[in-house]
């Protein structure tokens, strides 16, 4: 039986209810949090609240902190320097702890419909795409990057300015 599709999602600019509903619609069984720091100023997205809110929908939660981007990489993303984040993250992933966490994520995602979580709305600006690529390199499973439509008043302009901080 082929491995299930691996999904990714970012929660930038969306409500917890919209986020959870999108995971339900995608038939997600396990959310794998790949943030270095599983805390957020956005209601519902800190580790314990997130796990509890997902459990209400029948979705399990797993935080794999070693798959998070180091601080220098997060700073690079805030500056809009995605290439530097990629280099920092690649070096980070050579460590034993990230490799063990990657093995755990690969095993979990091979057995259940799993979704990788991080902050950035655009998966091309987020390390979760690099984690997904590493999993796919080991498993060969397909990837789907989930999106959630923003109301018009919250849509970013066509020219995105670098973020100054995370909510």
- Average pLDDT across each block of 10 residues of the chain; the chain has 167 residues. List them in order: 90 93 97 96 95 97 98 94 96 98 97 96 94 96 89 55 49
**Does 157 reside within a domain?**
no
Is position 104 within any domain? yes
> What is the structure's pLDDT at 158?
42
Q: Which domain holds residue 21?
A: 6-146
Quick one: residue 63, left, alpha or beta (phi over 0 = left, psi -120 to 50 = alpha)?
A: beta
E strand or H helix at 167:
none
Taking CA 42 as the corner, what is the angle to CA 30 and CA 10, rounded to the nearest 5 degrees?
A: 45
Q: Is residue 121 part of a domain?
A: yes
Closest of 149, 150, 56 to residue 31, by C-alpha: 56
pLDDT of residue 87: 97
CB 18 within 8 A of CB 45: no
Number of domains in the chain: 1
| 151 within some domain | no
pLDDT at residue 149, as a whole number? 76
């Amino acid at each position: 039986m082929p491995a299930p599709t691996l999904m990714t999602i970012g929660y930038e600019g969306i409500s917890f209810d919209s986020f959870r509903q999108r995971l339900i619609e995608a038939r997600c069984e396990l959310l794998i949090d790949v943030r270095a720091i599983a805390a957020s100023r956005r209601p519902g997205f800190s580790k314990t609240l997130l796990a509890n809110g997902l459990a209400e929908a029948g979705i399990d939660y797993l935080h794999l902190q070693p798959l998070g981007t180091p601080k220098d990489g997060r700073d690079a993303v805030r500056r809009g320097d995605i290439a530097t984040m990629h280099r920092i993250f690649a070096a980070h992933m050579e460590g034993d702890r990230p490799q063990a966490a990657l093995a755990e994520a690969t095993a979990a995602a091979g057995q259940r419909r799993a979704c990788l979580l991080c902050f950035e709305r655009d998966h091309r600006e987020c390390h979760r795409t690099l984690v997904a690529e590493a999993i796919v390199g080991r498993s060969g499973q397909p990837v789907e990057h989930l999106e959630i439509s923003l109301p018009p008043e919250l849509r970013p302009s066509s020219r995105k300015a670098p973020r100054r901080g995370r909510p």
